[in-house]
């Protein structure tokens, strides 16, 4: 089992139980306790967990979203597939916005080789795009959320009022038929709404688990979404309702 796979398994245990034990992880994955301790130390340095005697506990507070470092490990393979499928929806020459978040960073990675005009809304996506030999990168105004790397604030909303984009790649913390697309952070939700107002086509990128979650701030209704790119774990009944609403659904 690779280190990344063990890290994902540790993350899943932390999410469900709030704690992992070194001995249990070692036994479950047929690795030494030394290896598990090394994994936990690495994840602790990334701010994903806190080491305690015999194991580790989650640093996540109830009601809060997962930190970026933790989400980066969550469903990493599915996010890469979603990123590739979403990027394939645009044609060279388009002007696009790429939202903040781990899945959006995967979209940016696949756009970096394309001939496009791209406005990234996170420092992670900017880092991926900055060295592109073909993409023209333009920056939004705003401030950087130090925990998430997202670019937010009133300057974002102001700068987007005078711009129009062919495609908006929108991320989310949760999505449901009743609540719509939601976000934990109020400033992040405001930035997303500004992006939506500047876009001709809205593409929601969300791994399947997002359709079982909800957050405090409503970004938009799912009726405002043109395309959803997700993975095969998304609830079938939700995808059927989206199709009935006229939303194009792509699963990878």
* Domains within the chain, CATH numbers bracketed: 3-63 (1.10.10.10), 75-251 (3.40.50.1360)
High-pLDDT (> 90) share of the chain, %: 73
What is the separation of C-alpha 151 from the centre of its chain, rounded to a whole number of angstroms? 14
How many C-beta atoms lie closer than 10 Å to residue 74's C-beta?
18
Radius of gyration of the chain (CA): 19
Q: Which two tokens stand for residue 83?
A: 């990123």
Q: What is the pLDDT of residues 66-92, one digit of tens each?
A: 565 555 556 788 999 999 999 999 999
What pTM value is reported for the model?
0.77
* DSSP single-letter state for residue 89: T
Find the helix or strand (DSSP H, E) in which 129 lies: helix 123-130
Phi-psi map region of 111: left, alpha, beta (phi>0 left; psi -120 to 50 alpha): alpha
Q: Which two tokens stand for residue 146?
A: 């130090």
Q: What is the pLDDT of residues 2-27, one digit of tens each?
A: 567 788 788 878 876 788 999 999 99
Q: What is the pLDDT of residues 174-188, one digit of tens each?
A: 999 999 999 989 999
pLDDT at 250: 98
């Amino acid at each position: 089992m690779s280190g990344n796979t063990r890290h994902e398994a540790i993350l899943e245990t932390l999410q469900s139980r709030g704690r992992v034990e070194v001995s249990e992880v070692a036994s479950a994955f047929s690795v030494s306790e030394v290896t598990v301790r090394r994994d936990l130390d690495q994840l602790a340095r990334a701010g994903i967990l806190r080491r305690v005697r015999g194991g580790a506990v989650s640093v996540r507070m109830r009601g809060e979203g997962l930190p970026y470092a933790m989400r980066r490990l969550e469903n990493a393979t599915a996010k890469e597939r979603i990123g590739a499928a979403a990027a394939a929806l645009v044609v060279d020459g388009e002007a696009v916005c790429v939202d903040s978040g781990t899945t959006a960073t995967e979209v940016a990675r696949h756009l970096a080789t394309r001939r496009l005009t791209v406005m990234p809304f996170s420092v992670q996506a900017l880092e991926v795009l900055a060295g592109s030999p073909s993409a023209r990168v333009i920056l939004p105004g705003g401030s950087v959320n130090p925990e998430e790397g997202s670019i937010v604030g009133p300057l974002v909303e102001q700068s987007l009022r005078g711009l129009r984009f062919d495609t908006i790649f929108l991320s989310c913390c949760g999505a449901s038929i009743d609540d719509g697309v939601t976000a934990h952070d109020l400033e992040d939700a405001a930035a997303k709404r500004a992006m939506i107002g500047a876009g001709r086509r809205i593409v929601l990128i969300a791994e399947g688990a997002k359709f079982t979650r909800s957050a405090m701030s409503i970004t938009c209704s799912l009726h405002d979404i043109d395309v959803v790119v997700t993975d095969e774990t998304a609830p079938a009944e939700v995808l059927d309702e989206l199709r009935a609403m006229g939303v194009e659904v792509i699963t990878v």
